[in-house]
Amino acid sequence: MTFLLDEIALATARLAEAGVPSPRTDAEEIAAYVHGVRRSELHNVTDADFDALFWEGVARREAREPLQHITGRAYFRYLSLEVGPGVFVPRPETEVVAGWAIERLREMDVASPVVVDLGTGSGAIALSIAQEIALATVHAVEVDPDAYRWAKRNILEHGQGRVHLHPEDLADALSELNGQVDLVISNPPYIPPGAIPRDPEVRDYDPHRALYGSGSDGLDEVRAVERTARRLLRPGGFVAVEHADEQGTPVYLIFSEDNGWRDVRSRQDLTRRDRFVTARFGQE
């Protein structure tokens, strides 16, 4: 074990030098992945077990390839999801958005709530809701064929029979559910054209279709979510839409009272940055 700890320490130094934000954690995650154990079980790995594949993974992470692409897994709330090239890697800030939705569903006087996740990507939000709200029926919408395949794999693993996947565009999805949905949630593309993400893991590896929104401000997909949510929701139903931290005010204004929205609020993530807007439809 001493040898492995030394190797992890060396890997941590290399990753820190490369600017990786969490070098020790990532080195340990790569070691755990290579040896088929959890990070908490690394103490069970003997020196004889150490594998040179560890250094291959470290070199990939040193080049700023996402950790989740190296291990093939992303953790989201209580789920371990398959991810890789072609799908957006779910972020911790989105867990806050999903958590808000789950709390609203628990408070509803609805035995079997109907939920729609627009632009589901890996299926992270849809599957979390299905896992934590036992009687919910969740519809996940994803038009991109690569992301759809990842969502399908995760739904087969975690949500078969509970999450229904639809290969549709979020702008005109699920007309058969008009007026019947209790909650709509979305993490749509919203980065404005011309804005370049700072982190190489995002800029170079996340699919551009999941990142960059349409329109001069990048918010045309958010506007489409607003229109779709207005069509799908029953009176009193809720919507939650994620956005970039500097977009709180413009997204807030998209959900106008003239269109029937009430209780519109800009909400923050764990770093106290504006992260998502919520609103209730219809009822005074």
Residue 50: pLDDT band by 50, 70, 90 thresholds? low
AA identity, residue 137: T
The answer on whether 235 is annotated among ligand-binding residues is no
CA distance 42 to 6: 13
Residue 123 assigned to a binding site:
yes
Q: What is the pLDDT of residues 185-227, one digit of tens each?
A: 999 999 888 787 888 999 999 999 999 999 999 999 999 999 9
Residue range 96-107: mean pLDDT, rounded: 96
Task: Give pLDDT, residue 135.
Answer: 92
Higher per-residue confidence, 53 vs 255: 255
Question: DSSP letters along 205-237, please?
Answer: HS-HHHHBPSSTTS-HHHHHHHHHHHHHEEEEE
Dist CA 67 CA 64 (whole Å): 8
- Residue 163 near residue 121 (C-beta atoms within 8 A): no
pTM: 0.91
Closest C-alpha among 65, 82, 85, 64 to residue 73: 82
- Residue 190 annotated as binding? yes
Strand, coil or helix: what is 79? Answer: strand
Instruction: Give the residue numbers annotated as catalytic, written as ranges.
Output: 88, 187-188
Residue 121 assigned to a binding site? yes
Residue 47 above 70 pLDDT? no
Contacts of 120 (CB under 8 A, 6+ apart): 126, 140, 141, 142, 147, 151, 165
Any known ligand binding at 119? yes
Does 145 show up as a binding residue in the annotation?
A: no
Domain boundaries along the sequence of the chain:
2-63, 75-281
- Phi-psi sector, 240: left (phi>0), alpha (psi -120 to 50), beta: beta
Is 80 exceeded by the pLDDT of residue 161? no
pLDDT score recorded for residue 178: 98
Domain covering 75-281 assigned CATH 3.40.50.150 in the classification: yes
